[in-house]
């Protein structure tokens, strides 16, 4: 998104020239001058801030009710929320299903979940996660975190997946904040 704004700002003289119906030679001259500048300035900065987010998984030790696993799509939602909040912290986030890609890679695992059926009537719901930020084979940061919710206002009218969705949204925001200054053995969310 930043690169697009940067390119637009550099090409503004071209747009202005086209609106003023200047000669085509002037337009060509602006393109020839602006294009290398756009490519040269934006490519290195974009590569430096790229964050690859692997789709989170459930830990083998996590006991997750089958309906929650099949219906709630928590790993996909969590990855999506992280992808949403990472740009606000200066990263160009890219979501992938496996640990591929160069640069910084975020690996997150759902380690525990309290989410019995019955919505808010069956009690609060909670999601616990752990994660690490990798660069190559080196771990440059790690965290654990938990968020609990009873559903908020009108929680009694919300289902289990909706309430768990609130938990992973809050965790996605917590991870986004943690990305500002990642460190090892960090505690996020309710574990702060």
Residue 128 half-sphere exposure toward CB, CA atoms < 13 A: 13
Whether 105 and 165 map to the same domain: the answer is: yes
Q: Are residues 55 and 80 in the same domain?
A: yes
Do residue 67 and residue 8 come from a single domain?
no
Domain shared by 17 and 91, yes or no:
no
Reported as a single tens digit per residue, the pLDDT across 17-73 is 555 555 554 444 444 444 444 444 444 344 457 899 999 999 999 999 999 999 999
**What predicted TM-score, i.e. pTM, was given to this entire model?**
0.72
Boundaries of domain holding 34: 2-47
CB 33 within 8 A of CB 57: no
pLDDT tens for each residue of 84-93 = 998 887 888 8
CATH number, domain with residue 63: 3.30.160
91 and 170: one domain? yes
Q: How far, in Å, are 79, 94, 154 from residue 136 at the CA level?
A: 20, 16, 45
Q: Say yes or no: 37 and 74 in one domain.
A: no
d(CA 69, CA 89): 30
């Amino acid at each position: 998104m930043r690169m697009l704004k940067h390119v637009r700002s550099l090409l503004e003289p071209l747009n202005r020239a086209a609106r003023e119906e200047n000669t085509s030679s002037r337009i060509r001259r602006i393109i020839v001058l602006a294009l290398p500048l756009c490519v040269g300035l934006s490519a290195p900065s974009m590569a430096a801030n790229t964050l690859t987010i692997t789709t989170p998984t459930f830990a083998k030790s996590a006991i997750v009710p089958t309906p929650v696993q099949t219906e709630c799509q928590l790993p996909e939602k969590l990855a999506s929320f992280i992808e949403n909040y990472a740009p606000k912290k200066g990263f160009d986030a890219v979501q992938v299903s496996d640990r591929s890609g160069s640069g910084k890679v975020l690996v997150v695992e759902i380690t525990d979940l309290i989410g019995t059926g019955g919505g808010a009537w069956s009690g609060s719901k909670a999601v616990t996660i752990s994660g690490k930020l990798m660069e190559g084979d080196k771990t440059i940061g790690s965290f654990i975190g938990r968020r609990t919710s009873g559903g908020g206002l009108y929680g009694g009218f919300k289902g289990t997946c909706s309430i768990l969705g609130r938990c992973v949204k809050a965790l996605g925001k917590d991870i986004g904040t943690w990305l500002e200054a990642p460190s090892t053995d960090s505690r996020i969310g309710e574990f702060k």
